Amino acid sequence: MTETVLPPSPSEGVRPSDDAPDLSVRAVSVLLLYFRREYGEERLRQLWSKYQLGLSLEYVSTLTNFISFDFTEQLIDALVAESGDPHFSRKAGRLFVTPDAMGFLYHALRIFGSVKAVYAKFIEVVPTLNRVGKFTIEASSSNHMVLSYLSRRTERNRNLCEGRMAQFASVPTIWDLPPAQMVELQCQARGADCCRYELTWHEPVRGWRLGAGMLMGVAVGTGMGLLNLGPLPVLVPSVALGAAFFGAWMDARQEVRRKDEYLAAQNEGLMQSLTDLERRYDEVCRSNLALEDRVAARTQELTEANSKLATALDTQKELIRLKSEFFDNVSHELRTPLTLILLSLESLLQRDPSAYPDAMRQHLMTMERSAHRLLKLINNLLDLAQMEAGKLRLRYQAVELHGLLSSLLPPFRVMAEKKGLSLTLEGGPVGAIHGDVERIEVVFQNLVSNALKFTQQGAVRVRVSEDAGSVYVEVEDTGPGIAPQDIPVIFDRFAQADSTGTRRFGGTGIGLALVKETVDLHSGDIEVSSEVGKGATFRVQLPKGTAHIREDLRDRRAIDMPARRDRRTLPALTALRPGGAAVEPSSVPEELAPSNAPRILVVEDEPEIRDFVVSVLRTSYRVLEAVNGEEGRQRALQTIPDLIVSDVMMPVMSGLQMLAALRERQETADIPVILLTARQEVAEKVEGLGTGANDYIGKPFSPRELLARIEAQLRLRDAAVRAAENERLAATGLLTSGFAHEVRNPLNGLMNAMLPLRESILGSQVDPDTTRAMLDVMEECGTRIRHLAESLLSFVRTSDRLVPVNLGASLDSTLSVLAWKIPPDVVVVRDYQCDVPITGDPGSLNQVWVNLLDNAVRAVGTKGQVKISTEHDGATAVVSITDTGTGIKPEDMERLFQPFFSTRAAGEGTGLGLALCRRIVLRHGGLIHLTSEWGQGTRCEVRLPVQGVEHLQHRGGPGASPRLPPGPGAANG
């Protein structure tokens, strides 16, 4: 497919550099000839004027002139673009060997030339016409040639190649022959070093026989006439003439044969092309039908989507209206009780300090701080809602910003001093602006509060300046700065530059959004400049005068809300603590709860919430505290609590990160975790539960709800313990019944052999052979009983002492116990390649083998194969148990190791088998992996370390569990 490069438009002012005469005008003459023939002289002149090619049309029409390579490329691109035909160059190249292009030379070549000679002569004269390129014949025969073209100016335009190939292919048409078959082997425009072509053509057939016969006849007749040889001059020319006619007939036959061969080849090609066209037509038809179906389906989908979108839009409009009404109604309902709470708390705190115990006064102060924070948040949210609904009103009055800031900053200086920072106001009195004083205060309180919050050392500077039309206030800090990718979004609602799960700094993400929209309402502007590690500077511009006042925003009421101004200041004083860090957790005496009460770890960075949760739990549980996820992780590893209650958004390490870290450790993998968070979106809950949380409670929450959920999780844990004990008892019952079955048979044989032996010994004749046989039977039965007893004892024995375990012997011991359950047609194949012992608890490991082998035997049914193999892989011993059973469904694979999940029918299992196996293997420092394909069987692989015992998380043996009591139940649980 020809690549078309559009020429530059006239506006680009590109002119070719014609200082280097690279090509003869003859190289492009056929292009102009073809364009004139197809589109006319007038169209060509319009093209020349449109593209401003830099040379006149008359100059390019003079064949003795030369042009540059760049001009040639631009001219070809202009002709292709103007014609709109991507094959323009190829079609124009075919005129190269026509009478119009070649003149008299065309007829001379037709009479005296040949195809090969024309090619050779053309290549010979090319250097006189083309000073940048060179042709080289690489191979040549009577009707075949391979040649290459190397240009010193790298060609990037495929139109040059297309025209060149069309010129070469059209040479045989001089003799009315079909064009040469030309194959492009490589192309410089496509990245090759040079262009290479392969040509194949038919040579014209000459009528040499006719000419030779006539020439010979004339010569002989003339000679005989000169010699006066009588009738011979007549006879001989007649014979010669006959020979000439015979030669002409032979020439005609040769020509017909050649044309027949050519036509046959052409016919074969046409038939092949027809077949290809039919195939492609069928493909196009099928594709068209499929496309029509897709278009119809897509149209239907778009119609339905548009309908749903219209419905959703109407619903959204209704929701916006309802939201606006809700905020209007809730404004009074929220602010009034909060104001009453603040007033009541203030009244209580102003009383004599001796009127209340210290603990009660501390609670009252906590209530006051929390109420102020809540009031600030509610006010900000309501302000944003009013702005969105277009109902916010401004109380315009003249404001001198330097004086306003002077009265606004003293409370913040107290906070700065507690953090070891300096807070300064620079500049002097400036011209007044007109705006809403309270809302302007909110702007600068948010900016100063943020600066103090994010600055841990250094200073915060507030500068006031002015020019003729505006007043400028800059708030500069030496904090951590803002990342470049966060700057575009910091003024968006609910966006925070510190948006990671660790949350080093608190906040809701509405402060700067409120600042930006308030400044916009005053026709001002706010900018931020920052460099990471070097602080940030916020610059607020507010216009002077009254031209910016919007009458539609003017609030004509004079009634102010009680305590309205206080709400802007008090939260700023209590939002931060010195150093920006959470208050250390209080010490909770565990004596308040029974000594055997469950131990609960509370992880929360907000001191008020943490103290509240602790106060709720301390009477019923032993409570531990942590102020962030990292401290919570460390305390959980140290104390192994019975349950963890954790916040999600915390500094250093978030609750989700802590949860993931605990789930990776064997000793804490099963501790129930309840997450507390104010984020209650579905996605947040899914993420928390997916990480391994057992429950999710949204803030605010009821103390009774928290206690109920904790109690539920502890009961579930106790149920798991009881289920594990039941599993152990079930396994013991299984072994007992099998042992009874296996012992009964050899015992019967022993008892039956004793009576004949007694009679034989007491009889008058003692047969030594009979006696020996009876004794052999008794010895064999006794050996079998002893072996079964030892196997059973080995299976159920658990020990706190870790010993070397031979995997082959351990597996054989389990097989001997389960032998009675294995049907006769089930083949058990043993392939033990690992003779290196591992270190562990034999009883716990036997519990693993009995669960896995029992599952394999059940899966196989009455006929099949169970293969048990061991191998030594470096520092790991690998045990594989493979069966030819029914396999496991894909949807069940992910849940196999979950407690209480079972693929068996109800009542046939507890669903704890594989979960217990996994727990035991993990406590041995190993891994267990199961692969299966439905209908193809199952393979379970257990990898255990063969060196050392440091891998064992040992608390009463590797089978023991921090969730389970010591003893066999724990070993098998």
**pLDDT tens-digit readout, 562-589:** 333 333 333 333 333 333 333 334 444 4
Between 872 and 505, where is the model more confident?
872
Peptide bond preceding 700 in cis form (omega within 30 of 0): yes
Predicted local confidence at residue 321, as pLDDT:
72
Per-residue DSSP letters for 525-539?
EEEEEE-TTS-EEEE
Q: With 50 as the cut, is the pLDDT of residue 558 above it? A: no
Token readout for 254 is: 């040769």
First to last CA, the chain: 71
Q: Is the pLDDT of residue 557 over 90?
A: no
Q: What is the mean pLDDT of residues 840-861?
A: 85
CB atoms within 10 A of CB 689: 13
Give the pLDDT band (50/70/90) at residue 772. low
Burial (0-12, 13-18, 19+ Cβ within 10 Å), 893: middle
Question: Rounded mean pLDDT of 492-515?
Answer: 59
List, for residues 630-642, the tens digit of each pLDDT value. 999 999 999 889 9
Asked whether residue 728 carries a pLDDT value surpassing 60, the answer given is no
Q: Where are the domains of the chain?
A: 10-133+155-167, 208-349, 396-551+570-577, 582-701, 748-971
Q: In which residue are the tokens 């012997």 written?
A: 809
pLDDT for 26-47, tens place per residue? 888 889 999 999 999 999 999 9
- CATH C-level class of 748-971: alpha beta
- Distance separating alpha carbons of residues 799 and 801, to the nearest angstrom: 5
d(CA 238, CA 856): 109
Q: pLDDT digit string (tens) for 287-303? A: 888 888 889 888 988 98
Whole-number Å distance between alpha carbons of 781 and 775: 10
CA neighbor of 803 nearest in space, from 837, 832, 846: 837
**Can you give the pLDDT at residue 813?**
80
Give residue 816's pLDDT band: very low, low, confident or very high (50, 70, 90).
confident
- In the predicted structure, residue 559 carries a pLDDT above the cut 80: no
Number of H helices, E strands in the chain: 28, 25
* Backbone φ and ψ of 938, nearest 5°: -140, 145
Q: Name the pLDDT band for 626 (thresholds 50, 70, 90).
A: very high
Q: What is the pLDDT of residues 339-358, one digit of tens each?
A: 556 656 666 776 777 777 77
Q: What is the pLDDT of residue 672?
A: 92
Cα separation, 595 vs 590, whole angstroms: 8
pLDDT in tens, 913-944: 787 788 788 878 888 888 988 888 999 999 99
d(CA 37, CA 32): 9
Handedness of CA 17, 21, 22, 23 (dihedral sign): positive
Superfamily in which the 396-551+570-577 domain is placed by CATH: Histidine kinase-like ATPase, C-terminal domain (3.30.565.10)
Is 335's pLDDT higher than 80?
no
HSE, side-chain direction, 13 A CA sphere, residue 417 = 6
pLDDT tens digits along 683-710:
566 677 777 888 888 765 667 778 888 9
The pLDDT-based confidence of 762 (bands split at 50, 70, 90) is: low
Tell how far CA 754 is from the center of its chain.
Answer: 77
Q: How far, CA to CA in Å, does 104 sit from each of 115, 291, 503, 951?
A: 17, 56, 90, 99
- Which pLDDT belongs to residue 569? 38
pLDDT band at 799 (very low <50, low <70, confident <90, very high): low
CA dihedral 678, 683, 687, 690 (to 10 degrees): 120
pLDDT confidence tier of residue 869, bands split at 50, 70 and 90 = very high
Looking at the chain, the whole-number percentage of residues with pLDDT higher than 90 is 16
On whether the CB atoms of residues 696 and 677 are closer than 8 A, the answer is yes
The pLDDT > 70 percentage for the chain reads 68
Phi, psi for residue 826 in degrees, rounded to 5 = -95, 120
Distances in Å between the alpha carbon of 239 and those of 207, 212, 344, 829? 19, 13, 145, 103
Distance between CA atoms of residues 795 and 972, nearest Å: 11
Query: Going by DSSP bridges, is the β-strand pair 864-873/876-883 parallel, antiparallel, or unpaired?
Result: antiparallel
Determine the pLDDT at residue 950.
44
pLDDT > 50? residue 722: yes
Output 373 or 124, whichever has higher pLDDT: 124
What is the three-class DSSP state of 881?
strand
Residue 17 clears pLDDT 50, i.e. is over it: no
- List Cα–Cα distances, 346 to 36, 186, 370, 373, 379, in angstroms: 98, 90, 13, 15, 20
Q: Do domains 582-701 and 748-971 have the same CATH topology?
A: no
Q: Where are the alpha helices (DSSP H) in 869-933?
A: 890-893, 913-923
Q: Cβ distance 586 to 614 under 8 Å?
A: yes
Average pLDDT over residues 849-868: 88
Q: What are phi and psi of 9, to 5 degrees?
A: -75, 160
Residue 399, judged by CB atoms within 10 A of its CB (0-12, 13-18, 19+), counts as middle
Distance CA 97, CA 172 (A): 9
State the Cα–Cα distance between residues 588 and 812, nearest whole angstrom: 54
3 state SS for 396-448: EEEECHHHHHHHHCHHHHHHHHHCCCEEEEECCCCCCEEEEHHHHHHHHHHHH
Neighbours of 483 (CB within 10 A): 12
Give the confidence band of 87 by pLDDT, cuts at 50, 70, 90: confident
Query: Which of 136, 137, 199 lies closest to 168, judged by CA?
Result: 199
Beta strand residue intervals within 258-412, DSSP E: 396-399
pLDDT at 472: 95
Q: Which two tokens stand for residue 823?
A: 């049907």
Name the most confidently modeled range: 178-182, 860-864, 879-883: 879-883
Q: Any idea which of 116-130, 370-384, 532-546, 581-595 has the lowest mean pLDDT?
A: 581-595
| pLDDT of the residue at 576 | 38
pLDDT interval class at 240 (50, 70, 90)? low
Are the beta carbons of 935 and 886 closer than 8 angstroms? Answer: yes
Neighbours of 11 (CB within 10 A): 7
- Give 745's pLDDT tier (boundaries 50, 70, 90): low
Question: Spelled out in words, what is the top-level CATH class assigned to the domain 582-701?
Answer: alpha beta
